[in-house]
Amino acid sequence: MKTARQAARQRRQRRRLVLGTALAVTAAGVLAYLVMGSLPDREAEAGHAAATPVATTQVRTTTPTGTPSASATPTATGTPTPTAAATTGAARPSATATPRPPRTGSTTPSSAGRIRPNTTYTGVATAYEAADGDGACLFGPSPDLMIAAMNTTDYETSRACGAYVLVRAANGKSITVRITNECPLPCAPGQLDLSQQAFAKLADLKVGRIQITWQLLSPSTSDTISIRYKTGSNPYWCGIQAIGHRNPVARLEVHTSDGWRQLPRTEYNYFISANGGGCGSSIRITDIYGERLTITGIALRPNVVQPTRVQFARR
């Protein structure tokens, strides 16, 4: 039988064992908590990685057919950057309000017709008696007979009127002429009918016909453009002509109560307002390079050449 002293000692041992176990469990829990707290927060890290774009992300647009288009170039942030093709719709400046546009170099103007800059044409040259230099373009007599008649195809309903072209013969000689007339059939595309004075600069008139190449020029000049209303013009009908322009004229507009109105061109080199709209008002002309000049102060005076203070830029 246990004595009272032995029983008390056993109770004290059991209490120490229970207390030690509890302390060990508590220490283990604290240690586990510290260890877990020191590990990286994987969930937060994964969320950050998903929100950060990758530097190699590419943005592609598609055409209506679903084919990838190269019209957008991705940046490092994935935002498409428009290419030059997306900026071609910029409005062209007016020569009376803003600086003249830069030279276009080898770019083909959108307003050019059959005769285009930076293009060489091949054909034949013949000669005609130019008399006082007047012709189908109705510019009137010319003091300079270095002129030519353009074949009907390249004349293009008087679009070639006033154009300057450099003509080269196979023998190496060359001459610059201004188009003032039309050469009807059998003149073929590419053919120029030169004034006798101009032809004589390239070959003997007796030859009659020579092989040539020619191309459009934008010559140096100190002259300004003039405007003339056709004989018979009045507030109810008028014809308008530009004279002395450095570059071929592609368009002529008049200002009406409804805004600018483009006039149709005739084969005799006048722009017609059949109902009189804009007759006597401001005039706007555009060359084949897209340069636009606004002309004011021109009176409705038939068959009077009225000078302006403007000229197209040299190209």
Residue 181 in contact with residue 149, Cβ under 8 Å? Answer: yes
The region that residue 72 occupies, defined by phi over 0 for left and psi between -120 and 50 for alpha, beta otherwise, is beta
Q: How many domains does the chain have?
A: 2
In the predicted structure, residue 58 carries a pLDDT above the cut 80:
no
Residues 195, 251, single domain; the answer is no
Can you give the pLDDT at residue 111? 75
Q: Strand pairing of 238-243 and 226-229? A: antiparallel
Q: Which CATH number does the domain housing residue 245 bear?
A: 2.60.40.760
Q: Which domain holds residue 252?
A: 226-307
Residue 105 within any structural domain of the chain:
no
Query: Is pLDDT above 70 for 110?
Result: no
pTM of the model: 0.67
CA distance 114 to 153: 8
In a domain, 290, yes or no: yes
Predicted confidence band of residue 17 (pLDDT cuts 50, 70, 90): low
- Give the CA distances from residue 184 to residues 26, 60, 153, 200, 250, in Å, rounded to whole numbers and listed in that order: 114, 54, 9, 22, 22
Q: CA-to-CA distance for 40 and 3, rounded, in angstroms?
A: 59
List, for residues 221-259, the tens digit of each pLDDT value: 999 999 999 999 999 999 999 999 999 999 999 999 999
Within-domain flag for 20: no
Rounded to 10 degrees, the C-alpha dihedral 184/187/189/193 comes to -90
Last residue of a domain, one of 187, 217, 247: 217
Instruction: Please report the pLDDT score of residue 8 as a whole number.
Output: 56
Which is more confident, 138 or 13?
Answer: 138
Both tokens assigned to 154? 């390249």
Q: Which of 217, 248, 279 is the last residue of a domain?
A: 217
What gap in Å lies between CA 59 and CA 71, rounded to an integer? 11
Closest to 178 measured CA to CA, from 308, 307, 310, 269: 269
